[in-house]
Structure 1
Amino acid sequence: MKQKELFLQADAALRSVIDRITPDQLGLPAPAEWAVTPNPTVRDVLAAHARDEAWVPDVLLGRTIEDAGGTYDGDLLGDDPIAAYDRLNDLATGAVNENLNPDKVVHLSYGDFTIREYLEHVSIYRAFQAWSIARLLGWDYALPAPLLDLLEEIVGPQIDGFREMGVFPPEVAVPDDADRETRLLGRVGYWVPEG
């Protein structure tokens, strides 16, 4: 199932970015649309990703929000946010590496989807946040080539449909000589020129 590899590549990309965040960067402001918290910081964005990672094993088992109760309420990051995130990331990676039935229906807050579709959805979130967080923090970062290949193959043909669902903002025009990463980022509405 290519969606499994897409998830693992996107999750690894996000982790590679998160693992570079320093304690002093956690308090930096983040775009309001990245978190439900008013005036979010990078730590708030990390908290949202930690919660998303924490949910992966339960979602794959078919658990619902009701089943989990308040398991993932509150602060999942504690005194060492990066290490806490990494632990949750390890659990999510382990769950996705199991022998999954891609057609099994799982329950998300916005509806029921197959595992194949769920992995696509959460991979989009991870991949483009990896790029966006690195960009926010001023780092030189490119999506890994194998991830870019899978995004183009799996997500590329569905961009307009995802945009209709509200997943992607409007397309952004990119330079005529843009590389393929920039072209993809433009298609999904994330690319912004430097400077």
Structure 2
Amino acid sequence: MKQKELFLHADAALRSVLDRFTPEQLAIPVPAEWTRAENPVLRDIIAAHAYDEAWVPDVLAGRTAEDVGDTHAGDLLGDDPIAGYDRLNDLATEAVNGELDPDATVHLSYGDFPLADYLQHVSIYRAFQAWSIAKHLGLAYSLPAPLVDLLWEQVLPQAGDWRAMGVFGPEVDVPADADRETQLLGKTGYWRP
């Protein structure tokens, strides 16, 4: 299933960025639009991603929010936020690597969708957050070429629909000789000259 491959690459990309941070860097401010937290810092973003990772096995198993209850409420990161995130990332990866039916119905906070669509939705979030976090914090980072290719194939054809939903900003012109990653970032509104 191509969405499974997309998820695994996007999830690994996000983890590769988050794993670069030290405990001291977790207090670095991040853009307010990245989270609902007041005066957000990097730890808040990692906590949001940890929460998202924690839900993956439940969603793939067909559980609803009512089934899960408050299992994922509270601080999922503990005293070692990166290790806490990595633990949940490992569980999500294990769940996605299992036997999956792409047409199975999963239950999300915004409706019921085929499992393959869910994987695509959360992959978009992970991939572009990896890039955004790295760029915001000045890390030398590029999306891995296989992930760029998967996003180009699976997401770019629907960029207009995603843009209409507010997921992507307006398309940004990029240099004529731009590489494929830059072209992708331009078409999805992320690239900045």
1:1-195 matches, cutoff 5 A = 1-193=1-193
Instruction: State the one-letter code of the partner of 2:171.
Output: E
Write out per-residue CA displacement over residues 76-96 of structure 1, whole angstroms, 9 at most, x where no aligned residue. 111100000000000000000
Bigger mean CA deviation after superposition, 148-157 or 174-183: 174-183
SS in 1 for 2:27: coil
Instruction: State the one-letter code of the partner of 1:36.
Output: R
- Unpaired runs of 5+ residues, structure 2, are none
Give the TM-score normalised by the residue count of structure 1.
0.97
Write out per-residue CA displacement over residues 53-101 of structure 1, whole angstroms, 9 at most, x where no aligned residue. 0000000011111111111111111110000000000000000001100
How far apart, CA to CA, are the structure 1 residues paired with 2:115 and 2:62? 9
How far apart, CA to CA, are the structure 1 residues paired with 2:159 and 2:21? 30
Identity %: 72
- Unpaired runs of 5+ residues, structure 1, are none
How far apart, CA to CA, are the structure 2 residues paired with 1:65 and 1:122? 17
RMSD: 0.8
Deviating 4+ runs (over 2 angstroms)? none
How far apart, CA to CA, are the structure 2 residues paired with 1:38 and 1:171? 29
How far apart, CA to CA, are the structure 1 residues paired with 2:64 and 2:192? 37
Instruction: State the one-letter code of the partner of 2:163.
Output: R
Q: State the 1:192 CA deviation.
A: 1.4
